[in-house]
Amino acid sequence: MRVLVVDDSALMRRWLKECFASEPGIESLTARDGKDALAKLDSFDPDVVTLDINMPEMDGLTCLAQIMARAPRPVVMLSSLTDAGALATLEALELGAVDYIAKPSGTVSHDLKLIFPQILAKVRAAARIRVTGPKRPSRRPAAPPRPDAGPRPAAAPQGAARHDLVLIGSSTGGPKALEAVLFPLGPDFPVPILIAQHMPKRFTKVFAERLTQQGALPVIEVTGPTELRPGAAYLAQGDADVQVSRRRDRLVATPVPANPELVWNPSVNHMVATAQAVLPPGRLLAVLLTGMGDDGAAAMTRLHQAGGTTIAQSEASSAIFGMPRALIEAGGASRIIDVDRIAYTLMRLVAG
């Protein structure tokens, strides 16, 4: 596997090149900025590009757009844990980047080697993704046309829905998948939606704001005890887990300290398990979207076995099929659906 490392910091380039050199089967080359990267793109022909966002001469977003136009391939962004870095990263994902790595301590992260196992896992996963170029999401389109599907069902009157809560878990590739699921929905959707997306705290704040601005369904970051109301989606705060409880017959989501024994946070397994503890399984709808690993598969399988409805994103529409695959192989998926059909399916199910 060939990896092109693009970063304006000589220290970052040296560290990453040394780390990749220690891995058998990986050849790496470095570039000091976007212009240098484009000059080396054809001759080196990398399988994956790691691309810093903030660079002189040509920044990461401009370089990414050029890569996607000239020779699309998997790109993993490196960004700082700031609001500006989070916003630029989300823009990069819309432009075609497949994943991102948050530098733990700024533009020049002296502790970058500590997260190299995470970097390596994301680069290896990215190498398996087939990239065809950027696809900007539409803004609240009608339900995808399908000859045998009939018209888009009207949302059930609030209080008449067949479910009390929709749970969605996602990881790598999740931001794009969540846009595909949420944008067709509006404030008339009669069931609250709670989302656990593997993402740092700084990113979830910006991501919730961006989803709200671009779609019709308001998306609220869960920063404290939050009542879950119909007509809105709730995004679990990063670097924590989210817990569902009942207070005076109202559903409430609360951020709780992340379990150090869990690899991913916010944990999909934790979210689903706490929801099942306070609601009958038949009143829950759970969706497992694209992502590395198997987070969510165990809890959703138990929910399915108890009578709940679970949906796994199809392999063909997943950036990384790890999490949905784990659910399907465990026998825990009630349905397997392409991502652009999930919103329509949710509307049909909650309306009965």
* Position 120 confidence tier, pLDDT thresholds 50, 70, 90: very high
Say whether pLDDT at 213 is over 80.
Answer: yes
Give helix 116-127 / helix 10-21 axis angle, nearest 10°. 70
Say if domain 2-127 classifies as CATH 3.40.50.2300: yes
pTM given for the model = 0.88
Domain layout of the chain by residue ranges: 2-127, 165-351
pLDDT of amino acid 133 = 57
pLDDT of amino acid 160 = 64
For 329, residues 6+ apart whose C-beta sits below 8 A from its C-beta are none
| The Cα angle at residue 263 between residues 320 and 247, in degrees rounded to 5 | 100
Q: 139: how many CB neighbours lie within 10 A of its CB?
A: 12
- Rounded to whole angstroms, what are the CA distances from 280 to 273, 285, 303? 12, 11, 10
* Position 85 confidence tier, pLDDT thresholds 50, 70, 90: confident
Mean pLDDT of the chain: 89
pLDDT of amino acid 130 = 83
Average pLDDT over residues 278-286: 97
Sheet with 99-103, strands from edge to edge, namely 27-31, 2-6, 48-52, 75-80, 99-103
Q: Tell me if 2-127 shares its fold with 165-351.
A: yes
pLDDT of amino acid 103 = 79
Supply the residues annotated as catalytic. 171, 198, 295
Say whether pLDDT at 153 is over 90.
Answer: no
Superfamily of domain 165-351: Methylesterase CheB, C-terminal domain (3.40.50.180)
**Across-strand partners of 255?**
242
Both tokens of residue 214? 């671009």
pLDDT of amino acid 109 = 52
Q: Dihedral sign, CA of 210, 213, 217, 221?
A: positive
pLDDT of amino acid 102 = 84
Digit-coded pLDDT (tens) for 174-197 = 999 999 999 999 999 999 999 999
Say whether pLDDT at 258 is over 50.
Answer: yes
* Position 81 confidence tier, pLDDT thresholds 50, 70, 90: low
* Position 305 confidence tier, pLDDT thresholds 50, 70, 90: very high
pLDDT of amino acid 158 = 47
For 92, residues 6+ apart whose C-beta sits below 8 A from its C-beta are 51, 53, 60, 61, 64, 75, 77, 79, 100
Average pLDDT over residues 121-136: 80
Phi, psi of 96 (to 5 degrees): 130, -5
Average pLDDT over residues 98-118: 75
Minimal CA–CA distance to 309: which of 250, 278, 338, 352? 352
Say whether pLDDT at 157 is over 60.
Answer: no
Say whether pLDDT at 315 is over 60.
Answer: yes
- Which residue has better confidence, 287 or 111? 287
